[in-house]
């Protein structure tokens, strides 16, 4: 009997995360052909779900489907948990059908599902005056309650907390560790963040670390200390990439990534480095350092491709088909049914994910890991 598309369990998720290490079980560096990275696609609607299922099934590789709280609010009419439930339901519904692009069955799709970029509450109302937020503790309690509700969902196997903007490292450790313990209760892997990635996430702007002149050894030592103190299963830290739309390429500090992996491997605390702000990182960087780049998050490029695909369909095709000459592009977009431009939005993203699969050396990993 053919096994249908499915969301991976907690144990399977951990196995995937372990497998992206750039070192073998004896601690020796892997050959380039044996290294790979997990793709994580921030998803905001049905087009993303369709594109990821298609790519995961066609290339027999696990892919993570995540979204930020702001993204899940879009799924759930303003409610994060309702949005997570809606996205999980769409994964299950879509996974039972044949692909919409070329008849590709979705049976071999293997998905890791969870939350991305749950931020800590603002510690200071005014960072300059060091005026502490009087509601900080209550907001922390609310954060933990929402996290527990999310982690209790059987589909969720990964949850990312971003405490990087907290002014006190010990506070980041305290909250992250509490979430890790909560994750153990429900079988959810927790990803942490130590230093903020620049750019805009959910409408909130973050400034980057000053990496110029930073001691790589001290920086990496702090990262390893954080992993050991919290028990996270994946770690994000700033290496020069950026969230959101940026001009030009993101030139990242690959030396920091490589030094981290080697030192963490030596100390026995190696977990995958997560590249946030993966859109715009040069292809050759991804290809050369894959494995050291253990998990690669892509959000902005998906938004751009799906939106452009929808609009191109509406503006180039719908005019003649629907007899809408003389009507503005915006009015055309409103007039077309979602199904009319669904494929036009999903297809460009699916093609782009296929390119990511090749860059990250993902082909056939579900088979190698025994997930199929």
Domain contains 275: yes
Domain contains 214: yes
pLDDT by residue for the chain (372 residues), tens only, comes to 457 899 999 999 999 999 999 999 889 999 999 999 999 998 888 888 888 998 999 999 999 999 888 888 888 778 888 989 989 988 888 887 665 566 778 899 999 999 987 888 888 888 788 888 999 999 999 999 999 999 999 999 999 999 988 888 999 999 999 999 999 999 999 999 987 555 444 444 545 555 455 567 788 999 999 999 999 999 998 887 655 444 455 677 888 899 999 999 999 999 999 988 767 788 899 899 999 999 998 877 777 777 777 666 655 555 555 454 555 555 544 544 444 455 677 778 888 898 999 999 999 999 999 999
Q: Which of 1, 6, 4 is nearest to 110 (CA)?
A: 6
Domain contains 1: no
Is the dihedral angle over the CA atoms 79, 84, 87, 93 positive or is it negative? negative
Domain contains 55: yes
Specify the pLDDT at position 214.
Answer: 56
Is the dihedral angle over the CA atoms 79, 121, 163, 248 positive or is it negative? positive
Q: Which of 188, 197, 186 is nearest to 159 (CA)?
A: 188
SS3 174: helix
Specify the pLDDT at position 338.
Answer: 47
Specify the pLDDT at position 203.
Answer: 47
For residue 45 the two structure tokens come to 């609607």
Domain contains 91: yes
Domain contains 35: yes
Domain count, the chain: 1
Q: What is the number of other CB atoms lying within 10 angstroms of the CB of residue 338?
A: 11
Q: Which CATH number covers residue 261?
A: 3.20.20.70
pTM for the model stands at 0.85
Specify the pLDDT at position 98.
Answer: 62
For residue 221 the two structure tokens come to 């030592």
Specify the pLDDT at position 230.
Answer: 97
Residue numbers of the domain that contains 65: 6-368
Strands 295-298 and 274-275: parallel
Domain contains 308: yes
For residue 121 the two structure tokens come to 């509450």
Q: Percent helix, strand and coil across the chain, each rounded to 5?
A: 45, 15, 35
Specify the pLDDT at position 328.
Answer: 57
Specify the pLDDT at position 336.
Answer: 47
CA geometry: angle 53, 57, 63, nearest 5 deg: 60
């Amino acid at each position: 009997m053919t096994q249908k598309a499915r969301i991976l369990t907690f144990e399977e998720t951990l196995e995937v995360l372990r497998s992206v290490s750039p070192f073998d079980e004896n601690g020796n560096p892997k050959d380039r052909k044996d290294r790979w990275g997990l793709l994580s696609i921030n998803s905001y609607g049905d087009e993303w779900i369709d594109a990821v299922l298609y790519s995961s099934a066609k290339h027999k590789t696990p892919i993570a489907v995540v979204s930020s709280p702001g993204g899940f609010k879009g799924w759930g009419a303003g409610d994060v948990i309702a949005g997570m439930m809606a996205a999980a339901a769409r994964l299950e519904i879509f996974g039972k059908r044949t692909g919409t692009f070329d008849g590709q069955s979705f049976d071999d799709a293997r998905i890791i599902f969870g939350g991305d970029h749950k931020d800590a509450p603002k510690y200071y109302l005014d960072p300059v005056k060091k005026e502490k937020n009087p509601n900080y503790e209550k907001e922390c309690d609310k954060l933990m309650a929402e996290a527990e509700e999310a982690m209790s969902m059987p589909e969720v196997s990964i949850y990312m907390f971003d405490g990087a903007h907290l002014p006190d490292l010990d506070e980041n450790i305290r909250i992250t560790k509490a979430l890790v313990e909560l994750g153990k209760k429900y079988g959810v892997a927790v990803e942490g963040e130590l230093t903020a990635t620049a750019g805009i996430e959910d409408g909130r702007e973050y400034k980057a670390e000053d990496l110029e002149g930073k001691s790589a050894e001290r920086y990496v030592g702090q990262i390893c200390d954080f992993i050991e103190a919290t028990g996270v299963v994946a770690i994000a830290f700033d290496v020069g990439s950026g969230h959101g739309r940026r001009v030009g390429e993101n030139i990242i500090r690959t030396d920091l990534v490589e030094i981290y992996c080697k030192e963490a491997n030596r100390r026995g605390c190696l977990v995958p480095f997560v590249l946030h702000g993966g859109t715009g990182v040069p292809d050759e960087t991804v290809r050369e350092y894959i494995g050291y780049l253990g998990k690669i998050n892509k959000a902005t490029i998906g938004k751009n491709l799906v939106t452009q695909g929808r609009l191109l369909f509406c503006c180039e095709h719908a005019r003649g088909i629907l007899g809408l000459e003389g009507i503005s592009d915006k009015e055309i977009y409103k007039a077309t049914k979602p199904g009319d431009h669904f494929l036009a939005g999903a297809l460009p993203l699916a093609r782009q994910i296929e390119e990511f699969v090749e860059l990250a050396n993902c082909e056939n990993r579900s088979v190698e890991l025994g997930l199929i």
